[in-house]
A and B are shown apart, each in its own frame.
Chain A
Amino acid sequence: MIRTILTLPDPLLKKVSAPVAGITPAIRSLAADLIETMNRQKNCVGIAAPQVGELVRMVIIDASRHPKHYPSCGLRVLINPRITHFSDNESTGREGCLSVPDLTANVARSTAITVEAMTIEGTPYIIKTEGFEAVVLQHEIDHLDGLLFLDRVTSLQTDVFRRRNI
């Protein structure tokens, strides 16, 4: 089922989500809904459960949906994801978010990360990734702690043109 995406100033977007206690039918159905909701959005490469109002630690990523074909591991469901390693190297890129329509901003993120999570079957696994997919994961996992890209803006300098409604 396609879910409604919450947008600012919905207070649920600022809440810390609870860990998934077990893989129940409700959790499987939420994962399916998130995938369907993500796929409905053009060029959307990730979604987190709190964005549809479910305060549980689940994110979906699919960096392969980006038209630039960055290297990626494709569609993944991450239950209780935890970033266990951040590279010291950071790079700044432009981010947007379904929950913050109309705005993009420059955000600094680690260029490479290691994430521990569970699959939708409850099997632990590890993703080591870098580049665009690492940014996507950091952005989505931030949602589980009530953080938006707006909370991580690091530069106003490269904002060459303000987005205008035309």
Chain B
Amino acid sequence: MKTNLAVSIIGKDQTGIVAEISKALFETGCNIEDSAMTLLRSEFAMILIISIPAAMRQSAVIDRLTAAAGKMKLSCFIRPLKNAEHTVEKQKGKPWVLSVYGADKPGIVHAVTALLAKQNINITNVQTKIIGTKNKPVYCMFLESFFPAKLSLAPFKSKLSATAARLNVTISINAADYPTL
């Protein structure tokens, strides 16, 4: 029976990280089922869902991956997944995109996401960017999130406005749109 692993690898960016990690996977007969990889300043990070063929021992794959990451001085975290766990789980509720932006200061992310968590809103994608100048940095954060069906929008919007006013940032919400192009 196939088994699956969730793998996250992060470390100082250098050429050959993806090639080295995927080599370890390919040579142990594993398949990369899904992945997200990005460079954040000097750090390159990979999140992978991999499947291990029935004939291959899980421990052998873990050893190979750990060795490959170690060779490049990368941190590696591996978690075996239960059988059903790796399948794409359909999000409950309606997707929305929140835009949060304003003069950068500590506490924006926490204040906004604590409010979302309290309303049982699940965050599925976050993109952040610092723009503006060195003296006047502007923090921008875009969150894709799923609002529970029973969430009433009007009271939630006023809570968002109160948070925005307290932080002196702008918070806008829009129903998510998935363009078919």
Contact = CB atoms under 8 A, between A and B. Distances in A.
Interface string B159-181: 00000000000101011111101
Interface in A126-161: 148, 150-159
Contact of B138 (A9, A108, A153): A9
Interface stretch (B67-75, B84-92, B126-134): B126-134
A166 B102 CA distance: 24
Contact of B179 (A103, A105, A106): A106
Given A9-B136, A150-B99, A103 B129 contact: yes
B142 interface: yes
Nearest to B127: A156
Nearest to A151: B172
B152 interface: no
B6 interface: no
A43 B77 CA distance: 47
A9 B103 contact: yes
Interface string B37-71: 01000000000000000000000000000000000
B170 A162 contact: no
Nearest to B137: A9
Interface residues of A, number: 26
A9 B132 contact: yes
Contact of A102 (B102, B131, B174): B131
A156 B38 CA distance: 15
Nearest to B103: A9
Interface in B88-138: 97, 99, 101-103, 125, 127, 129, 131-132, 136, 138
Contact of A154 (B125, B138, B175, B181): B175
A108 B177 contact: yes
Interface residues on B, range: 20 to 34
A152 B171 CA distance: 10
Interface core residue of A8, A105, A152 (most chain B CB under 10 Å): A8
Contact of B131 (A8, A152, A158): A8
A92 B129 contact: no
Given A14-B170, A150-B99, A158 B181 contact: yes
Given A150-B99, A154-B97, A162-B127, A8 B132 contact: yes
A155 B181 CA distance: 13
A91 interface: yes
A102 B97 contact: no
A7 B125 CA distance: 26
Nearest to A7: B132
Contact of B178 (A101, A150, A153, A157): A157
A73 interface: no
A88 to B, nearest CB: 14
A100 interface: yes
8 contacts: A8-B132, A92-B179, A106-B177, A108-B174, A151-B170, A153-B99, A155-B179, A157-B125
Interface of B: 38, 97, 99, 101-103, 125, 127, 129, 131-132, 136, 138, 140, 142, 144, 170, 172, 174-179, 181
